[in-house]
C-alpha cells in the first residue's frame, strides 16, 4: 500500500492504528540512505584531498607559499558540497521539480554571464566568473543539473500523471529545446568538454524516459554531422584543434601540443603495481604534468598509488554508478528514474573521459574527475547530484 504523502517525511500504513503513521527520523532517513554510495563518494573526496595536496604542496607559484593552501580549499569545497547534498535531500527532488523553471532560468543567466565582461578565461576556455578572493564559478556545471531536472520534468509529466505510457514527440521536442539553449551558450565560450558531457546526458535522459529510439538515433546522426561541419568550417579554436591532433598522433610535437598527454602517460606508467608512495612521485614533485590538481589528478594516483590505488578510484566510481543504477531501477516514478539516469550518464562519461585522456585513449577535454579533482563548482555540482539520488531513494514509495 503506498503513501499519499509526497513530502520528505515517509509514511507507512499502520494496521493496528488504521492510519498513516509518520516514520521516525531514523527510519525515514538513516535507514533509507544509500550508505554504500555515500561512503564511496566521501572516500573519493578524501583520496582527492591527498592527491591534490601532493600535486600542489611544492607549487609555490600556485599555493602562495602555503603547502596546505589547496588541501584546505579542497576540504572546504568538499564540506560545502556535503552541506549542499543535505540541503538537496531536505528539499527533495519532488520539491525541486516545482522550482525547475526558476533554477533553469538562473543557470541560463549565469551561463550567459560568462560571455559578458564578468567572464574570465582559464586554460583557453572562457567559461568562468571570478567571484573574488581567489574563488571562481563555472556555471556550466550547474547547467548539467538543471538540464537533467528540466528534461525529466517535461518528459515525465504526462507519464507520471497516467495520461501516457511514453513521452510523445511534442514533449521530446520541448525537452530538446530546453537543453539546446545552454548548449549553444556553452559552445560560444567555447567549452567543448562540457558540451560533450551535456550531449551524453541528453541521450541518457531520452533513453531512460522511454522516448522513441528514432530520437536517439537521430540525435547521434545529427551530432556526427555537426561535428564534421564544425571541423570543416574551422569553428574550433586553435588549442582545441591541437588537442585533437595530439590525440590522433601522440608523437606530434611532444614538447608542445603533445606534452600534456605524454607526461601524463609517463606519470601513470611509472607507478607500477603499488606506486612510488604518496608524495614521492618524481613526475609529480618535478611538476612535469600541467594542471595536475585538476584535469590530470588521476596521474598522481597512477604514479604515487600505482595500479592498486588508481584501480581503487575506478572501483569507487563504479560503486557509485552501480548504486545509482539500482536507485533508477527501483523508483516507482518516471521523473525519479530519468533524473537518476541523467546523473549516471554524466558521472560515467565524465569519469571515462578524464581517466581516458590521462591514458591517451581519449582527447584532452578539460573535464575534472568527479569528487577527486580540485575545483569548487565541480565539487558542489556532483554532491548536489548525490543529494538528488539520495532523495529519490529516501522518497521512494514504501509498502506496508
Residue 289, pLDDT above cutoff 90: no
Q: pLDDT tens digits for 323-377?
A: 999 999 999 899 999 999 999 999 999 999 999 988 888 888 889 999 999 988 9
- All three cell numbers of 122, joined, read 582559464
Q: Is residue 7 part of a domain?
A: no
d(CA 67, CA 297): 17
Q: Is residue 250 part of a domain?
A: yes
Place of cell 504523502: 5
d(CA 264, CA 297): 10
Q: Is residue 261 part of a domain?
A: yes
Q: Is residue 399 part of a domain?
A: no
Q: Is residue 5 part of a domain?
A: no
Q: pLDDT value at position 254? A: 57
Q: Which residue range(s) make up the domain with 66?
A: 13-394
Confidence tier at 390 by pLDDT (50, 70, 90): very high
Q: Is residue 99 part of a domain?
A: yes
Q: Is residue 6 part of a domain?
A: no
Q: pLDDT value at position 243? A: 63
Q: pLDDT tens digits for 11-26?
A: 433 333 333 334 444 4
Instruction: Provide mean pLDDT across the span 134-147.
Output: 89
Q: Is residue 4 part of a domain?
A: no
How much is the mean pLDDT over the chain?
A: 84
Q: pLDDT value at position 322? A: 97
Q: pLDDT value at position 124? A: 62
Q: Model pTM?
A: 0.87
The number of domains in the chain is 1
Amino acid at each position: 500500500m503506498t503513501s499519499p504523502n509526497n513530502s520528505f517525511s515517509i509514511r507507512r500504513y499502520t494496521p493496528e492504528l488504521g492510519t498513516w503513521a509518520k516514520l521516525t527520523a531514523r527510519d525515514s532517513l538513516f535507514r533509507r540512505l544509500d550508505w554504500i554510495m555515500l561512503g564511496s563518494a566521501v572516500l573519493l573526496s578524501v583520496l582527492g584531498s591527498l592527491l591534490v595536496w601532493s600535486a600542489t604542496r611544492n607549487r609555490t607559484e600556485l599555493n602562495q607559499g602555503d603547502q596546505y593552501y589547496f588541501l584546505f580549499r579542497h576540504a572546504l569545497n568538499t564540506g560545502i558540497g556535503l552541506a549542499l547534498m543535505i540541503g538537496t535531500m531536505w528539499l527533495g527532488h519532488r520539491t525541486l521539480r516545482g522550482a525547475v523553471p526558476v533554477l533553469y532560468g538562473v543557470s541560463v543567466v549565469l551561463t550567459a554571464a560568462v560571455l559578458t565582461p564578468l567572464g574570465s578565461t582559464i586554460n583557453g576556455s572562457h567559461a568562468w566568473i571570478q567571484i573574488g578572493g581567489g574563488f571562481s564559478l563555472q556555471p556550466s556545471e550547474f547547467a548539467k543539473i538543471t538540464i537533467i531536472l528540466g528534461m525529466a520534468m517535461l518528459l515525465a509529466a504526462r507519464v507520471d500523471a497516467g495520461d501516457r505510457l511514453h513521452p510523445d514527440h511534442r514533449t521530446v521536442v520541448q525537452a530538446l529545446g530546453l537543453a539546446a539553449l545552454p548548449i549553444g551558450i556553452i559552445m560560444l565560450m567555447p567549452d567543448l568538454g562540457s558540451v560533450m558531457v551535456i550531449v551524453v546526458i541528453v541521450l541518457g535522459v531520452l533513453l531512460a524516459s522511454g522516448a522513441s529510439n528514432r530520437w536517439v538515433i537521430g540525435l547521434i546522426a545529427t551530432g556526427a554531422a555537426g561535428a564534421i561541419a564544425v571541423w570543416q568550417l574551422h569553428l574550433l579554436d586553435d588549442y582545441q584543434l591541437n588537442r585533437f591532433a595530439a590525440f590522433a598522433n601522440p608523437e606530434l610535437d611532444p614538447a608542445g601540443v603533445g606534452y600534456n598527454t605524454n607526461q601524463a602517460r609517463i606519470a601513470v606508467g611509472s607507478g607500477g603495481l603499488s606506486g612510488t608512495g604518496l608524495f614521492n612521485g618524481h613526475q609529480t614533485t618535478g611538476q612535469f604534468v600541467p594542471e595536475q590538481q585538476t584535469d590530470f589528478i588521476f596521474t598522481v594516483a597512477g604514479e604515487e598509488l600505482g595500479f592498486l590505488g588508481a584501480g581503487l578510484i575506478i572501483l569507487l566510481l563504479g560503486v557509485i554508478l552501480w548504486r545509482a543504477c539500482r536507485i533508477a531501477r527501483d523508483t516507482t516514478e518516471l521523473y525519479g528514474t530519468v533524473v537518476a539516469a541523467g546523473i549516471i550518464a554524466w558521472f560515467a562519461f565524465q569519469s571515462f573521459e578524464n581517466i581516458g585522456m590521462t591514458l591517451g585513449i581519449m582527447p584532452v577535454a578539460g573535464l575534472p574527475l568527479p569528487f577527486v579533482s580540485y575545483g569548487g563548482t565541480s565539487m558542489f555540482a556532483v554532491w548536489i547530484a548525490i543529494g538528488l539520488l539520495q532523495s529519490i531513494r529516501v522518497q521512494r514509495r514504501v509498502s506496508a
